Amino acid sequence: MQLQNLSDNKATFVRYNLATDSNAISTPSQALQEYWIASNGIFLRSTRDLIDACIQLNNLALPGLAQIQPYLKFNFPLIPERLVAAMLELAQKVGDQEILFYLAFRGKEWELVIPDQIATATSVKPAEPVDPVYHQALIEVHSHHRMQARFSATDNEEESGKFRIFAVLGEIFTSPAISVRLGIYNYFQLIPANKVFELPPDLNDANRLVL
């Protein structure tokens, strides 16, 4: 009986599934992480609030199973252009220094938060990592100022273990660009910026990948 309880608890965190037919994945379970073994590889599916995502972890060719296609359903309104433009402008104002933003969905709209932070030319960290606003934020954006809009090894380290959307701004004084990715715990998937943000005309999407 005790063993049974243990396995029930575990099932709420991680569940392994075989894609026996193409509709198998349609309804999310209560599990935080659903791993799916499909004919075309292994996938991770997870949901949080109004985000439902399925990312491909590897490519395989397994006989006898159905295919799964990766997807991202971001069922919030897009982050409005005025907030994206505000982040870019604030990043430009601080010059050759990084800056960190949180975006939280409160009531019916997105709110831009600039947490207290410790910023240098090559790093930015919240001064209060246990800030309640941090936990409400679904999206974290930081700036690499004149460097490229590309996630660094440090970003990978700091952003793993979470389920949220991350974005990095780069080349903000010359040719502003944004790179956006979905983080599902220890995995990241680059996504087109327009899945999440309304981009001002002077901000380019650094990724042309389609999820």
What is the distance between the alpha carbons of residues 175 and 203, in angstroms, rounded to a whole number?
8
- Report the nearest approach of Zn ion to the CB of residue 144 (Å): 6
The one-letter amino acid at 164: R
Q: Which is nearer to Zn ion, 33 or 152 (CB)?
A: 152
**Taking a C-beta distance cutoff of 8 angstroms, is the pair 179, 152 a contact?**
no
Q: Which is nearer to Zn ion, 131 or 158 (CB)?
A: 158
Q: Which is nearer to Zn ion, 112 or 169 (CB)?
A: 169
**Taking a C-beta distance cutoff of 8 angstroms, is the pair 196, 178 a contact?**
no
- Report the nearest approach of Zn ion to the CB of residue 186 (Å): 18
- Report the nearest approach of Zn ion to the CB of residue 23 (Å): 39
Residue 193 backbone dihedrals phi, psi, to 5 degrees: -60, -35
- Report the nearest approach of Zn ion to the CB of residue 155 (Å): 4
What is the distance between the alpha carbons of residues 35 and 43, in angstroms, rounded to a whole number?
6
Q: Which is nearer to Zn ion, 140 or 155 (CB)?
A: 155
- Report the nearest approach of Zn ion to the CB of residue 152 (Å): 5
Residues in contact with Zn ion by CB under 5 A are 152, 155
- Report the nearest approach of Zn ion to the CB of residue 171 (Å): 13
Residue 194 backbone dihedrals phi, psi, to 5 degrees: -75, 0
Q: Which is nearer to Zn ion, 155 or 205 (CB)?
A: 155
